[in-house]
């Protein structure tokens, strides 16, 4: 299985270490298993709120910050995920779990968007949530 997760870290609120990198890779590996894929190239950019707000305006015409944006590409190069670390920190506190759990959740959420999943209706949201939890459980980060 060929898995490549490229990380572009342009923020300083969360220190990204090897444990994070291994977790991101494991998440993509589990997504591959679930989706019967044998390779993946995923790009992850970690940015501050202002940056993601600008991208959200440019690409989705929403003049507000968001937690994660995903830009799908193709079968092998799954695409780009952009995560606001400001949102990661705020949401971890809001939901009462670790920053690591929230960051991993948002990355998993982004990966599933790259694979074509969405949460536009209750039924598609249910499928996506179920896959998120399945992947996070497999990497030891289930909701606790």
Domain membership flag for residue 143: no
Domain membership flag for residue 144: no
pLDDT for the residue 144: 61
pLDDT digits (tens, 9 = 90+) for 87-117: 999 999 999 999 999 999 999 999 999 999 9
Q: Which DSSP state fits 1? A: -
Domain membership flag for residue 39: yes
Q: Which residue has the tokens 């923020």?
A: 11
Res. 1: pLDDT tops 90? no
> Which CATH number does the domain housing residue 91 bear?
3.40.390.30
pTM of the model: 0.96
pLDDT digits (tens, 9 = 90+) for 20-78: 999 999 999 999 999 999 999 999 999 999 999 999 999 999 999 999 999 999 998 99
Domain membership flag for residue 7: yes
Domain membership flag for residue 48: yes
Helix (H, G, I), strand (E, B) or coil at 114: helix
How many angstroms separate the Cα of 142 from the Cα of each of 16, 102, 104, 130?
A: 20, 11, 10, 11
- Expressed as residue numbers, the domain containing 32 is 2-138
Domain membership flag for residue 9: yes
Query: What is the count of structural domains for the chain?
Result: 1
């Amino acid at each position: 299985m060929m898995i490549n997760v490229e990380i572009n870290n342009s923020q300083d609120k969360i220190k990204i270490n090897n444990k994070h990198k291994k977790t991101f890779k494991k998440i993509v590996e589990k997504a591959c298993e679930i989706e019967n894929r044998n390779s993946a190239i995923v790009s992850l950019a970690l940015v501050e709120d202002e940056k993601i707000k600008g991208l959200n305006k440019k690409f989705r015409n929403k003049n507000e910050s968001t937690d994660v944006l995903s830009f799908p590409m193709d079968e092998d190069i799954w695409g780009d995920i952009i995560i606001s670390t400001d949102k990661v920190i705020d949401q971890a506190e809001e939901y009462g779990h670790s920053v690591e759990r929230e960051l991993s959740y948002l990355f998993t959420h982004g990966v599933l968007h790259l694979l074509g999943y969405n949460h536009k209706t209750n039924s598609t949201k249910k499928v996506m949530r179920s896959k998120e939890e399945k992947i996070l459980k497999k990497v030891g980060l289930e909701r606790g």
